[in-house]
Amino acid sequence: MAHGSVTHAVCNVAEELMLQRMTGVRLRDLDRANLGELNRHLRAFERLLTRERNKGIARHWSYDLNRHIVMKTVRDMIARRIDERRRLRCAR
């Protein structure tokens, strides 16, 4: 295994651990989730993101820009997966 691929694998593990720690969601769970579960995750992230955005607007002391960015990134990733699954279902 090349050094670059080992570094890439370590980064992926670190990213997955950070995602799970900050959001409580694992990428593996998203890969295995059906369309209904993905929609529930999306609604949950919408609520969390709205709450975090409101904290930022109010300049609340517990607002965390990094957490906000991670939540938005995950929300966008879930939305893309839902779109992909819908396209696959329509293509059949």
pLDDT for position 1: 46
Predicted confidence at residue 51, as pLDDT, reads 93
pLDDT, residue 9, reads: 53
Helix (H) or strand (E) holding 90: helix 65-91
Cα-based distances in Å from 77 to 5, 30, 34, 48, 73: 23, 10, 15, 15, 6
pTM of the model: 0.74
State residue 58 phi and psi, 5-degree precision: -80, 0
Domain residues of the chain, as ranges?
Answer: 3-91
Higher local confidence (pLDDT), 27 or 11: 27
The rounded distance, in Å, linking the Cα atoms of 67 and 60 is 14
What's the mean per-residue pLDDT of the chain? 81
What is the pLDDT, as a whole number, of residue 59? 94
Q: How far apart are CA 69 and CA 75, in angstroms?
A: 10
